[in-house]
Every structure is written in C-alpha cells, then in structure tokens.
Chains A and B, each alone.
Chain A
Amino acid sequence: SQKIEQNSEALNIQEGKTATLTCNYTNYSPAYLQWYRQDPGRGPVFLLLIRENEKEKRKERLKVTFDTTLKQSLFHITASQPADSATYLCALSTGANNLFFGTGTRLTVIP
C-alpha cells in the first residue's frame, strides 16, 4: 500500500539549532514534493517545492533535499526560532497536481 511517513509526530529543539524533519514514502513515484507549514486553526501554507531531478532546494533558512533512491526528503530549518513552531507537512505529487499529504510533524522551538 502507499504510505507517506513523517519521522515523528512531535519534535522539540532549542532555539538557534537546526531542525531536521524527515518524510519517507513507499509505493509512490513522485514527480515532485512540496513542504507546507500549518499553524493551529489555519490551512497549510506552501514553503518549498523540489522536483524529482533536483537534489536540493534552499530558501532563506529553509533547505529541502530529495533522494528518490532512498525515497526520502529531508527538511531543514537552520537557526530555528520560536516563531518556527508549527506543524510541517510533506506532500507528494505523481502528476496532475494531486497532492498526497503526510501526517505532519509538530515542531516546537524552545527559547
């Protein structure tokens, strides 16, 4: 069966450290992968997109890697801040913009 697993339900880190979130998938052949942020009571907000032929993408303090051999994406937030605390969702697309979402990782950055 198809699965998208995000490494942990919750992750706590100290302010200033790098947060690393993992997204693993099985039985998908994604054309691209997106990461979204979701705050309580709000809808997901797009952060980054990486295509199957790309290894890495960066945007300010965010970095995403995509390894189609390992079937894994890593999402990094460097110099983390309390304002980065939220749930982060990975989403795969196999085509026609049908997004399949993981269950999310709730990140808490401790001051």
Chain B
Amino acid sequence: EAGVVQSPRYKIIEKKQPVAFWCNPISGHNTLYWYRQNLGQGPELLIRYENEEAVDDSQLPKDRFSAERLKGVDSTLKIQPAELGDSAVYLCASSLDSSQADIQYFGAGTRLSVL
C-alpha cells in the first residue's frame, strides 16, 4: 500500500514568489493534516481537514497561506507571497479519522528554501 505522497521534495524560490505543495493521502483516510517543521523543532499543525472541510485552521497564517482539499482526497497548500521565515519542511499526514487515538501517517515532506 502506498504511503502519503508529497511533491515536490524540494523547492527553492525567491522571496515574494508564490509556491504550492501537493499531498496525496493514504487511500481511505478521511483526515488530512498539514504541518510545518522548522530546523531542530517538532512539527507544528497548520491545518486539519475532515474530508473536504477544514476543521482546524487556527494556526494557518491566513494572510499568505491557503489550502484546499477538493473532493476530500488530494490537498494543496499555497504560500503567496513567500517570506524568508517560511523556509521549513512542510509535512502532510493522514489518518483514518480524527478519533482521539488515531495514528497519523506522514509523507516525506517538502523542504522549502526562500532566498
């Protein structure tokens, strides 16, 4: 069974440019998460989807970040415009549902460098 697939693996852009990340979760997983992981830190939740509905986006910087999960499967995370401080690894994860004890499965992440 394929795991969570993310693309691209690496992205280098100049500040003020837009960038988008794509995630394909494990088949059948209703819940999808986007995290940001800064160097030497643990992942921090940006947004959580239940099917196509964003149920927790309290940590998403909405002035420049946006996300969508059309049809409740694949998801994209966009930054426009990017800032130097956005350099990080962006991780996507999925789980069967958001019950309290559900295990999250992570993709390999997209490493973003903003120059």
A joins B in a complex: yes
Q: Which of B42, B45, B103 has the most CB of A within 10 A?
A: B42
The interface residues of chain A lying within 8 Å CB-to-CB of B104 are 44, 46, 97, 99
User: With A and B bound together, what is the CA distance between A46 and B3 in angstroms?
Assistant: 13
User: With A and B bound together, what is the CA distance between A102 and B44 in angstroms?
Assistant: 10
Closest to B109 in A: A43
**Which residues of B, 26-83, contact A by the 8 Å Cβ criterion?**
31, 40-45, 48, 56
Contact present for B42 and A103 (CB under 8 Å): yes
Q: How large is the interface on B (under 10, 10 to 19, 20 to 34, 35 or more residues)?
A: 20 to 34
**Least distance between A27 CB and chain B CB atoms (Å):** 17
Contact present for B100 and A32 (CB under 8 Å): yes
**Which residues of A, 1-36, contact B by the 8 Å Cβ criterion?**
4, 9, 31-32, 34
The interface residues of chain B lying within 8 Å CB-to-CB of A103 are 40-42
User: With A and B bound together, what is the CA distance between A33 and B98 in angstroms?
Assistant: 15
Option from A9, A32, A91 in Cβ contact (under 8 Å) with B101: A32
Contact present for B45 and A99 (CB under 8 Å): yes
The interface residues of chain B lying within 8 Å CB-to-CB of A46 are 103-105
Interface mask (B92-105 → A, CB under 8 Å = 1, otherwise 0) = 01010011111111
User: With A and B bound together, what is the CA distance between A49 and B56 in angstroms?
Assistant: 23
User: With A and B bound together, what is the CA distance between A95 and B31 in angstroms?
Assistant: 14
Contact present for B4 and A97 (CB under 8 Å): no
**Least distance between A32 CB and chain B CB atoms (Å):** 6
Option from B42, B44, B100, B108 in Cβ contact (under 8 Å) with A97: B100
The interface residues of chain B lying within 8 Å CB-to-CB of A89 are 42-43
Is A70 part of the contact surface with B, judged by Cβ < 8 Å? no
A: residues with CB less than 8 A from B are 4, 9, 31-32, 34, 41-46, 49, 51, 89, 91, 93, 95-99, 101-104
Further pairs besides A51-B101, A96-B100, A97-B100: 20, Cβ < 8 Å: A9-B40, A32-B101, A42-B108, A43-B91, A43-B93, A43-B109, A44-B91, A44-B106, A89-B43, A97-B48, A97-B95, A97-B98, A97-B101, A97-B104, A98-B45, A98-B48, A101-B42, A103-B40, A104-B40, A104-B42
